[in-house]
């Protein structure tokens, strides 16, 4: 999807059309979660500090973001994807691989199917646009989809893969992060074509097994199949605060509020989390992340909060002020749907079942009336202060 969060905002408020829109944290330390194409013209992009973005584009409209709206739009888009292929592999809230093998009789050649898909998305989502890449090689489709944004269609015909890849910068390749890119550039390797010419042996020497994989990709070989999978790998909620947070009680209030939101999203998605993460960043930008595996998967705010507090105990708090906290839940498993193994009601866990029902009710209330409708008293201060930051919603990558 193109500038997904921003596009949803513009769709829902036509007065924003044509204006530079930034979605993200509105406070001093906020981060851009999405920038409309108008804003991108000024150099704004996602993951940029909001302050920087606003320096580049002072007249941009800044919106705090409405996660529910994006999730709903995402659900609709994925429903459309499901009509076009039985094999849809969600990559994030707004990206997916569709394996079109065997759909030709029904949908025509890939290009025609892609056009139909684009039309369907635009029509059924009230005007959201997407960009599509077509290729016989999985990761190439992803690269191709980014070549003609927004509202674009790029096809890499079979046999032309190497030609397409060769001139691209190395960091377009999956698995080449900033560090590897730097290392490669130091050796004069600038393009994917250079990387391929370097040969598998040299790459293996430099990067080990990973080097072989990189060479395969540069050679347009990607044996990975499209795996139907849309479940997220994690759900997290983090806030960057306008005011420094100091001391355990204040930190705990933030965590409680964040654990509550994570729990709400777990419940809404029918997922349970097995693992809880704590992320905390002090004003010196030292970031610590810690995680803990729970005895049993949960979607309850209280349990997530308790785990987060336990993790907090391991963090050196004295004499430090914090600018960011985050609570995440990962190792997600579907809540008892088909195929779910039921647990023995070991008696000590009986009260927990009631807590489960309670969590469902709390979530339902908040879904209907908003986050501030009902929250734990201890989180009150954090809720009233509001959170200055945006949230980050990290979803499964591979």
Q: 263 and 300 in contact (C-beta within 8 Å)?
A: yes
Give the H/E segment covering residue 328.
strand 322-334
Q: Which residues pair with 277 in a beta bridge?
A: 291, 328
- Cβ 346 to another protein, closest distance in Å? 4
Phi, psi of 186 (to 5 degrees): -60, -25
CA separation for the pair 176, 62 (Å, rounded) = 32
- Cβ 176 to another protein, closest distance in Å? 33
Binding site for another protein (CB under 8 A): 293-296, 336-349
Strand 153-155 and strand 132-134: the pairing is: parallel
Identify which of residues 227 and 248 has a Cβ nearer to another protein in the complex: 227
Identify which of residues 21 and 88 has a Cβ nearer to another protein in the complex: 88
Active site residue 310: no
- Cβ 307 to another protein, closest distance in Å? 12
- Cβ 19 to another protein, closest distance in Å? 48
Identify which of residues 202 and 294 has a Cβ nearer to another protein in the complex: 294
C-alpha distances out from residue 28 to 42, 51, 54, 360, 390, Å: 20, 7, 11, 35, 11
CA separation for the pair 194, 169 (Å, rounded) = 9
Identify which of residues 36 and 298 has a Cβ nearer to another protein in the complex: 298
C-alpha distances out from residue 108 to 102, 105, 111, Å: 10, 6, 8
Catalytic residue among 9, 38, 89, 95: 95
Catalytic residues: 95
């Amino acid at each position: 999807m193109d500038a997904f969060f921003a596009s949803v905002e513009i769709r829902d408020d036509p007065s924003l059309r044509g204006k530079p829109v930034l979605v993200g944290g509105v406070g001093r330390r906020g981060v851009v979660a999405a920038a409309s194409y108008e804003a991108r013209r000024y150099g704004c992009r996602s993951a940029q500090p909001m302050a920087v973005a606003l320096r580049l584009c002072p007249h941009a409209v800044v919106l705090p973001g409405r996660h529910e709206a994006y999730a709903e739009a995402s659900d609709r888009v994925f429903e459309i994807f499901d009509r076009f292929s039985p094999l849809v592999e969600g990559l994030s809230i707004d990206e997916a691989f569709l394996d079109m093998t065997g759909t030709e009789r029904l949908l025509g050649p890939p290009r025609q199917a892609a056009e139909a898909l684009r039309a369907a998305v635009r029509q059924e989502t009230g005007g959201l646009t997407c960009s599509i890449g077509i290729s016989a090689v999985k990761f190439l489709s992803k690269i191709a989809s980014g070549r003609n944004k927004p509202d674009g269609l790029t096809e890499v015909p079979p046999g032309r893969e190497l030609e397409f890849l060769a001139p691209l910068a190395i960091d377009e390749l999956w698995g080449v992060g900033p560090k590897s890119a730097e290392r490669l550039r130091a050796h004069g390797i600038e393009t994917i074509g250079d990387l391929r010419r370097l040969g598998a042996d040299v790459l293996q020497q430099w990067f080990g097994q990973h080097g072989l994989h990189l060479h395969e990709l540069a050679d347009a070989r990607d044996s990975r199949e499209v795996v139907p999978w849309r479940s997220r790998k994690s759900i997290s909620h983090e806030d960057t605060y306008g005011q420094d947070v100091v001391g355990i009680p204040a930190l705990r209030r933030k965590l409680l509020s964040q654990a509550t939101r994570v729990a709400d999203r777990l419940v809404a998605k029918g997922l349970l989390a097995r693992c809880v993460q704590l992320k905390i960043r002090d004003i010196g930008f030292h970031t610590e992340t810690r995680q803990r595996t729970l005895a049993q998967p949960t979607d309850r705010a209280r349990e997530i909060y308790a785990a987060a507090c336990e993790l907090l105990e391991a963090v050196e708090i004295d004499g430090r002020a914090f600018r960011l906290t985050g609570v995440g839940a990962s190792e997600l498993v579907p809540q008892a749907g088909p195929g779910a193994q039921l647990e023995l009601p070991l008696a000590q866990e009986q009260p927990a079942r009631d807590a489960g029902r309670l969590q469902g009710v709390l979530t339902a209330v908040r879904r209907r009336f908003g986050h501030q409708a009902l929250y734990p008293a201890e989180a009150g201060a954090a809720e009233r202060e509001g959170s200055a930051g945006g949230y980050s919603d990290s979803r499964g990558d591979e």
